[in-house]
Structure formats: structure tokens, C-alpha cells
Amino acid sequence: MGNPNDDLSRRKFVTRSLGCLAAASVAPGLSLADSSSTDPDKAATVPVMRKLGRTDIELPLVNAGAGAGMDPGLVIEAVDRGMRLFDTDARYQNGRHEQLLGSIFSKMGVRDKVVIMTKVHTPEQRAGLSPERSKALLYKTLEGCLRRLRTDRVDILLVHDVSSPGPIHDPAIMEAMSRIKAEGKARYIGTATHTNMAVAINATVAAEIYDVVFTAVNFTMADDTALMGAIENAAQKGVGVIAMKTQAGGYAFPNPATHREFSNELINSAALKWACHNENIATSVPGFANYDHLRANWAVALNPEYTEEEKRFLSDNRIKLGMEFCRQCRRCVASCPHKADVPTMMRTHMYVRQYADFGLARQTYDSIASDRGLTACESCGECTAQCAHSVNIRRKIEELKLVYG
Ligand code: SF4
């Protein structure tokens, strides 16, 4: 999958989508309309749908990432257009993102039509809290999520930011997550990973209690056979795979050379389509900072077929490297004499430079010391030569310092 030359026709997508749409719930008055149509010629108004693993949830190929930020109008338009899965997190905007979604869904009367996915962090548990304290903290965090989201249950609850089997298989976390599901406070449970994804996905599947895995994946990782294999394994075992970071940081790309041949719009749609073409990925939640981004993303849900130019972009390896997307592989960490958390700094850079989400960036930057016991960078430059994925670490860190001093 992911080969731009695949002739994955619109008709094939549509045929699959129409079967799913029959079972999809549609809010009265919402524009996921036309779902009664079985005429492929009217396909442009119908999103392609896929089932989320073994859950009973069916979703459009493209949904709403938390990058929608704090603009209520964007969330409303996303619902109106037909996006159904909304990604959030107990920590985003210090809980205000959950509050925003809860308020809008309640006012629109669409709580039963949307799928809310939120995430809880467990760094305290990982730092060695007693199992009882760990579980109590997780329940308390979830209670806060439910209150802010104005609901008595979330649809998907994820343990966020896992990169190794440790926290995924932690008995206290597994027990708490299982109990939350059994009590109906989360319909489905899972994990979220943007570091060491192949290992985290395989561990999630092996745990056998998780229904969903939310992973970073995009076209710059097409040659990562371990990751592609893990995604396939998850899908085969019925664990629903949801993609994030589909546009390798998205909308504003840090390397100007990339733009000499291809526009931002083309890069974004080609990248999103690449994720959609992998049938092991049930859906994606790209963020959008404005209405143009939202509409462009939704257009992919309606028609994921590649244009000739998009195929040309995706088959250009030089451009792929020029994206300078940090895969969070953490190989550079060992080379740093100061034990700096370079990958987290690269993610912070992406949030500042590409998402323009300064709140998320600050939170991520601040997590360097508290979550991992690692330090910030001393600018010695040792690491740049160590990146196998052509990320200009030093330049990005210098840019970050302009923001954080
Ligand atoms: S900067 Fe390069 S080596 Fe370091 S985590 Fe990112 S991709 Fe891996």
C-alpha cells in the first residue's frame, strides 16, 4: 500500500463506502446527506467510510484532529460537513479543548452522532506510583474529561504517548482501562503513539484488551517496514488503526526547497490520500487551522483518488527527505552528550512552525524535563549528523530558541 501508482479507483472506494453508509448514523439536518444514494455518479458528496477494527464504529476516511484548535466555527463546520470522529486530550489547552467540544456538541444536540476520542497521560504511573494510586489518578483524570466534555461516556479513551510495552502492559493501567470500559465510561479503549510506533502498536495488539491504536504515520515513513507491518498486524487482529501526523506536520513545510515544485495544497492532499490508500488504516484525524484546510481535508474523504501531480510528488524520494519530518525514532538521543530530548524538541518545532499552535508547543516543550527527566539542548551540534532521516536538527533548535530563548 502507499504506492502512488496503485490504481485505487474512486468507484472501488465508493462501492465500499455505500455499504458502510447504510449502517452509519447521521444526525438530523447534518450534511452527511446523500447517504441514501446508491448512484456512484453522485459520489462526490458522499464520504468514503471504513469500519474501525472490531468496534461497531464506522467513520469517514478523514475526521477532525485537535489541531482544529479553539475556533468553535471550525468544529461546527466539521460536524456539518460530516466529520464524525473528534480527537482531543485531557491536557490540550489545559482541558479547554475538551470543554469547547463538550459545549458545541451539547448545543448542537449531536452528542450521539459524533465519536469523541480523548486521551489520558500516565507519566505519574510510569514514574513508579503504587498501583492503587495509579488507578485512582487515571479514574480521576477521566472524571475531569467527562465533566469537561459534558457527557457520561467517551467513545474512545486512549493511554497517550506510549512508546514501549512498559506502560501499555502495566497491570494497574490495564486494570483501570478495562474497568473504565466495563463500567461504560469509555465504549472502547486503546493507546496513542508518536514515538517508536511499531513497538507500541505491536505491544497494544499483544495486550489483547485494547480496541484502537492511534499512531503517527505518513508517506515519509513508507519505507518503514516495521511500522507498516505493525499496522497491518493490528488491522488483521481487529484493532482499529487511526492515523495522525498524516501530513508530516502539515500546511507549512519548513524546507523552502519543497515548494519550488509543489504547492502546499498539493502536498497536503497527496499526503492525506497516501494514508487513506492504506486499507489497514481505518481513518485519519488531520488538524486544520482554518476553513480552507478543513475543506481540503474533507475533499479527500469524498474523493481519495490521486491526481497525476500527486502521484509525481509521492514518487519523488528527494522531496520526501526534504520534508525533514522527524519520525521520533530517538536514534539521535544516544549521540547527545547532554542527554537532550531532541525528538521532543523536534515535535515542539513542528507545533510552533507548522501548526502555529503555541499552547501545544509550550506544553510539549515543558514536558521535556517533567516527563522524561531529560534536559533541553546545549546547541553543541553533535546530533545533526546522526539523523538518518535528513532532519536538520541544529537549524530547527536554533529556530526554537528564537521562541523559547
Ligand atoms: S531528529 Fe532524526 S534521529 Fe532524532 S528522533 Fe527525529 S528522525 Fe530520529
pLDDT digits (tens, 9 = 90+) for 97-138: 999 999 999 999 999 999 999 999 886 666 677 888 889 999
Average pLDDT, the chain: 83
Task: Give the number of other CB atoms < 10 A from CB of residue 319.
Answer: 21
User: Do 360 and 96 meet the contact criterion of CB atoms below 8 Å apart?
Assistant: no
- Binding site membership of 326 for ligand 1 (Cβ less than 6 Å): yes
Highest mean pLDDT range out of 64-78, 266-280, 325-339, 376-390? Answer: 266-280
Q: Which residue's C-alpha comes closest to atom 8 of ligand 1?
A: 329
- pLDDT tops 50 at residue 176: yes
Q: How far apart are CA 162 and CA 365, in angstroms?
A: 17
- pLDDT tops 70 at residue 356: yes
pLDDT tens readout for residues 257-268: 666 678 888 989
Of 144 and 25, the one with more pLDDT: 144
- As to burial, measured by CB atoms within 10 angstroms (0-12 exposed, 13-18 middle, 19+ buried), residue 348 is buried
- As to burial, measured by CB atoms within 10 angstroms (0-12 exposed, 13-18 middle, 19+ buried), residue 267 is buried
- Binding site membership of 179 for ligand 1 (Cβ less than 6 Å): no
- pLDDT tops 70 at residue 68: no
User: Do 206 and 21 meet the contact criterion of CB atoms below 8 Å apart?
Assistant: no
Domains and CATH numbers, the chain: 10-316 (3.20.20.100), 333-404 (no CATH)
Burial per residue of 170-191, b for 16 or more beta-carbon CB atoms within 10 angstroms, e otherwise: bebbbebbeebbeeebbbbbbb
Q: How far apart are CA 151 and CA 159, in angstroms?
A: 19
Share of the chain above pLDDT 70, in %: 80
Confidence of residue 332 (pLDDT cuts 50, 70, 90): confident
pLDDT at residue 349 in the model: 86
Nearest to 248 by CA among 175, 144, 346: 346
Residue of 342, 386, 395, 400 best suited for mutating to test ligand 1, as the one with most atoms within 8 Å of CB? 342
Determine which of 55-69, 142-156, 246-260, 309-323 has the lowest per-residue pLDDT on average. Answer: 246-260
pLDDT tens readout for residues 279-311: 999 999 998 888 999 999 999 999 999 999 999
Q: How far apart are CA 340 and CA 337, in angstroms?
A: 8
C-alpha cell at 101: 467540544
Q: How far apart are CA 186 and CA 225, in angstroms?
A: 32
Q: How far apart are CA 146 and CA 159, in angstroms?
A: 15
- Binding site membership of 393 for ligand 1 (Cβ less than 6 Å): yes
Confidence of residue 252 (pLDDT cuts 50, 70, 90): low
In 71-209, the DSSP E strands lie at: 85-87, 115-120, 154-159, 186-193
Of 284 and 376, the one with more pLDDT: 284
Sequence-ordered list of residues with C-beta below 8 angstroms from that of 120, at least 6 positions apart, any chain: 90, 138, 141, 142, 145, 157, 158, 159, 160
Query: Closest ligand 1 atom, CA of 327?
Result: 7
